[in-house]
Each structure stands twice: as C-alpha cells, then as structure tokens.
Amino acid sequence: MLRFFAVFVLVCGLLTPALAQESVVNPRAETGGAQTLDDIMRRQSQQKVDDEFRRSETGDPEAAAPITAPLGTRGGQSISDMWRGLRYDTADVSTQSRGPASTTLIQDGGMWWLKFREGPLLIYGAALLGGTLLLLALFYLIRGRIRIQGEKTGRTITRFSGLERFGHWLLASSFIILGLTGLISLFGRKVLIPAFGHDAFSTLAIATKWLHNNVSWAFMIALVIIFLFWVAHNIPNRTDLVWLSKGGGIIGSGHPPAEKFNAGQKIIFWSVIILGTSISVSGLSLLFPFEFNMFGATFAKLNDWGITGLVGLEPLHYPLTPQEEMQYAQLWHAIVSLVLTAIIFAHIYIGSVGMEGAFEAMGTGEVEEQWAREHHSLWVEEVQEAEVHQSKEA
C-alpha cells in the first residue's frame, strides 16, 4: 500500500510541471477564456494584443436551449457575444440605410489610423516640409544664386509656348491651392483649432473642403495637359547620366550638356506625373467615398505574390472594411502629397530665386540665349539647326 502511495505521489509530482506548462500555453485558463489582466495592461500601453481567443466567441443562436428548458429564453447569444460580433464585423447586420459602409457599426481597426493621423503623420509631415525649406535656405546661403556665367547676348530663344505655359500655370496654381487647403485640413484639428477656436476654424474648414474638392479637377486636367506636351522630351537617355554624374554642374566646373529638359527637370516631371496621378486616384476615391476600393485588392495581390514575406512583413490585413479603405486612401493621399510638396519646393526654388534667368522660361516663355547655352546646350543646338533648316526651305 505504501508502495502504491509512493508511486501516486511521484506521478503527481511529475504531472505538476506539465499542468503548469498547460496553463502557460493557455494563459486565459484562469479567467475561463476571457481576457486577462495582462491583455488589458498591454492594450492600455498600446501594445499588440492577440484577440483571436474572443474574436470567434460570438454565440450560436442554433445552439440555444429550448424555450421551455431552464434559462431557455436567453437564446444562444449573450449581449457580450452580440457586441463581439459587431466589433469584429462578423455579425449579420441589417440596417435601414443602404449606404456602403452602413453595416459596419463598430470599426475596431480605426483607432490606429486616428492615432497615426494625429501623431506621426503630422510630426513627420511637418519635419519633411520644414526640413526641405531649411535645406533650400542653407543651399542658398552656401551656393548663392546661380548666375549666368557668360556675357549676356541680349537675344532670346522661345523656350515654352503660350499653351505650354498655360498648362504649367494651371497645374501650379491648382497645386498651390490644393497644397494649402490640404495642409489646413490635415493640421486643422491639432494646430488651427487650438489657435483660433472652433467657430473660426469651422468657416475655414467648410471653405477649404469646397475648394480642395473642386479645384482638384483643374489639377487633374492640367496633369494630362503637361503630360501630353512634355512626355516626349522627358524620356531618360545617356545625356542624363552625364548630367547626374556632374550633379547638374555642382560637381566640377562648367555646365553639363542638356536637352530641352535636363535630368533634374526630368526627375521633377516624372515625380509630378507619377505622384500626381497617385494623389489624383486616391483623391477620387476620397471624393466619391466607397466607390473605388483599391487598397484591399492591392493588399490581397501583395499577399498572394508573397511580397510582404520577402520584406519580412506579416501578410497585410484583408479583407478591409469600407471605412478602412477610406482610411488607407486618406493616409496614402496625405503622405504622397507631402512628398510631392517637398519636391515642388525644390522646383519652385530653382525656378525663381535659385537661378538667374530661369523664371523667364515660364514667365514670358523667352530665355536669354546665353542662359540657354549654359543650361540646355544641346537644346539650343537643336533649335538653331531647326531655324537654319527652316530658312533654307524658305
């Protein structure tokens, strides 16, 4: 008997660590499957919480006890089960409104967007624009205005036609209005409301939204105009490699040869076309909410192709709720716009205070011949050859 007792104690002793291990594997055993204090603490400190354990705990009306049975009137789904179903978007919701997002009553994934929009997006956005302006100011202080080095000839060459300049200024003026109104929308709640109050900001916000929504069409039309006018001149070639290797004239002496558009201008052109198109598409998605769902489909493709795994990321969240589509579109629209604005700051700098003779290209369309020889030598040769050819024909 004593031997049996000794074996029993030994077996119990051996099982204890196994049971302890079990409780580690299932940390919610002690709460009967509900969330633990650790879950709550992690959520409060903004850490990721694995909520898979309760995501599916949404009850089962089919498994309800008969109504005649004890407590049968409770049904198979408790109120907590119902709210979990709404929170994790698995409940079968029927609403009077037929709007596309009307059946998502709780959008559990929206808080990260709100926090990102109010925090890092504003901080890094302001740092990007402020940093770019600072760098340009430093460059100006160090390098000064880039002057026309040779003697001015007094003769001019037509650089851009009236139509080209019209397209450029339509794009530029709409971009400036969109940029300003976009920044007011982005920074309004955090910066302008504390400074001017809700009433003043409300009027400004209504005007800003109207302008931003409607001026956007002029931007999109102008984007198409400048693409059609200048795409042929902006195809990259070997001349651009030489230009880039000399930093556009900053490295070494003299100006590297360039065609109508040098490599720097080509970078600006393609940035405007690619980023501007991306901003336009995401803007259209915001302008007509829930009509274009681009991000869910893109995420699914990236997951299928394994691209997220290649860069060491977990698969992207899919499918997205209609609200999430809008949130991603808003972030994309804002981030790409901020990047393009920083690039345009550099473009405005070099086209105005940064370089003597550059503004005339878009101001009057006529540039000093010496300026053209220094900055676009190959283009000047082309123009003069064409003139000779024309005069021979005449």
Partner 1 sequence: MKAFLLALVALAAITVGVNLILVAIDFSAKEAWASTGNVRLDD
In the structure encoding, which two tokens stand for residue 294, read together?
Answer: 């681009």
Q: How far is the CB of 215 from partner 1 (least distance, A)?
A: 5
Secondary structure (3-state) at 302:
helix
Q: According to DSSP H, which parts of 231-310 are helical?
A: 238-245, 263-287, 295-304, 307-310
Q: How far is the CB of 318 from partner 1 (least distance, A)?
A: 24
Q: How far is the CB of 282 from partner 1 (least distance, A)?
A: 15
| Cα gap 216→224, rounded to integer Å | 13
Q: How far is the CB of 285 from partner 1 (least distance, A)?
A: 12
| Cα gap 304→112, rounded to integer Å | 25
Q: How far is the CB of 252 from partner 1 (least distance, A)?
A: 36
- CA distance to 155, 210, 215, 218, per residue, from 392 (Å): 21, 56, 47, 42
Q: How far is the CB of 210 from partner 1 (least distance, A)?
A: 8
Beta bridge partners of 366: 158
CB 356 within 8 A of CB 371: yes
Q: How far is the CB of 359 from partner 1 (least distance, A)?
A: 11
Handedness of CA 126, 128, 129, 130 (dihedral sign): positive
Nearer to partner 1, 209 or 301 (CB): 209
Nearer to partner 1, 124 or 210 (CB): 210
Q: How far is the CB of 219 from partner 1 (least distance, A)?
A: 9
| Cα gap 246→239, rounded to integer Å | 11
The end-to-end CA distance of the chain, in Å, is 126
Nearer to partner 1, 219 or 243 (CB): 219
Crossing angle (nearest 10°) for helices 110-118 and 120-143:
30
| Cα gap 19→64, rounded to integer Å | 33
What residue ranges bind partner 1 (CB under 8 A)?
94, 96-100, 162-163, 165-170, 172-174, 177, 210-211, 213-215, 217-218, 221, 287-290, 363-365
| Cα gap 372→361, rounded to integer Å | 10
Nearer to partner 1, 257 or 289 (CB): 289
Nearer to partner 1, 36 or 107 (CB): 107
Residue 270 CB neighbour total at 10 angstroms: 13
What phi, psi does 170 have (nearest 5°)?
A: -65, -45
- CA distance to 121, 253, 293, 301, per residue, from 298 (Å): 22, 47, 9, 5
Nearer to partner 1, 300 or 362 (CB): 362
What phi, psi does 366 have (nearest 5°)?
A: -105, 130
Nearer to partner 1, 177 or 329 (CB): 177
CB 322 within 8 A of CB 293: yes
Nearer to partner 1, 163 or 388 (CB): 163
Nearer to partner 1, 99 or 236 (CB): 99
| Cα gap 299→297, rounded to integer Å | 6
Q: How far is the CB of 276 from partner 1 (least distance, A)?
A: 16
